[in-house]
Copies of this chain bind each other. A is one copy, B any other.
Amino acid sequence: MKELVRDVESILEQTLPPAQTVPEILHESMRYSTLGGGKRLRALLAMAACQAVGGDIKKTSGLAAAIEMVHAYSLIHDDLPCMDDDDLRRGKPTNHKVYGEAVAVLTGDALLTEAFAELARMPEKYGVSYETAVRVILELSAGAGSQGMVGGQVVDICSQDQDLDEETLRYIHAHKTGALFRAALRGGALLGGATEEQLSQITRYAENFGLAFQITDDILDETGHTEQLGKAVGTDQALGKQTYPRLYGLEQSKAMARQCVEECHEALREFSEQADLLRQLASFIIQRDH
């Protein structure tokens, strides 16, 4: 897994325009927020899903880069003063603290645009068929858009300081983080040549993975340390955000996360050992401490 993370880092390094590209400050800023950190979970999921259906992991290089760029853009915009107003991310000052708000907004915009450019380059760079490239672009735009990640972020922002019911909390998580996991997994499976049945099980995996991830994230925000997380802890509470531990208590939240991981394994029951990386990722997600 560590080796794959290094591969993702090197793909991103090569995909992002060099820091000397005009305008330098923008490309420097894009690289500052995308390179050198992060679990690369979304890229790993894309790779693992491709492998699980018997595909060549190299075909996912474009998607791996694109999905990490989309993730990086979303963090830059989430951290802005008008959103969560965070100063620290992955143990470093947030983008707007370094480059200012205007460049931070534009850096996010540029990363999102570059992500789609990279997907459109897949046929030329990685021999992906034009039709598959278009299908993967549809997956990423659905996952990242107004009825995906951005939709979840809007509902999250608009419901701060409100007592949320479980339905709304689930909506936020399924969209804010879940939708991008889903795009990574389904996109990776498409690039690996998945059958409809495989795609449907991968989707089931994706939904449970996303929920397990978010519950664990909420738990860590309450119990973790700033040092481990690389960002301030207790911020959800400070912002008056609803979380699983606040709604169900710590123990029940942990049990729910474990249940989701079991569902992930269940979804992969018919898959061969080629799906072992996907299986590991599901188990990893609730054991992590950052």
Contact = CB atoms under 8 A, between A and B. Distances in A.
Contact of A146 (B113, B116, B171): B113
A138 B130 CA distance: 12
Interface in A115-174: 116-117, 119-121, 123, 129-131, 133-135, 137-138, 141-142, 144-147, 150-151, 153-155, 157-158, 171
B105 A146 contact: no
Contacts of A123: 131, 134
B105 A22 contact: no
Contacts of A263: none
Contact of A154 (B73, B103, B146, B158): B103
Nearest to A139: B120
A130 B123 CA distance: 11
Given A23-B158, A110-B150, A117 B134 contact: no
A123 B133 CA distance: 12
A247 interface: no
Nearest to A21: B147
A154 to B, nearest CB: 5
Contacts of A101: 82
A106 interface: yes
Contact of A138 (B30, B77, B121, B155): B121
A147 B17 contact: yes
A21 B147 CA distance: 8
A242 B153 CA distance: 37
Interface in A55-82: 73, 77, 80, 82
Given A25-B154, A77-B109, A157-B102, A130 B141 contact: no
A67 to B, nearest CB: 13
Contact of A102 (B17, B83, B112, B151): B83
Interface of A: 17, 21-23, 25-27, 30, 73, 77, 80, 82-83, 100-103, 105-106, 108-110, 112-114, 116-117, 119-121, 123, 129-131, 133-135, 137-138, 141-142, 144-147, 150-151, 153-155, 157-158, 171
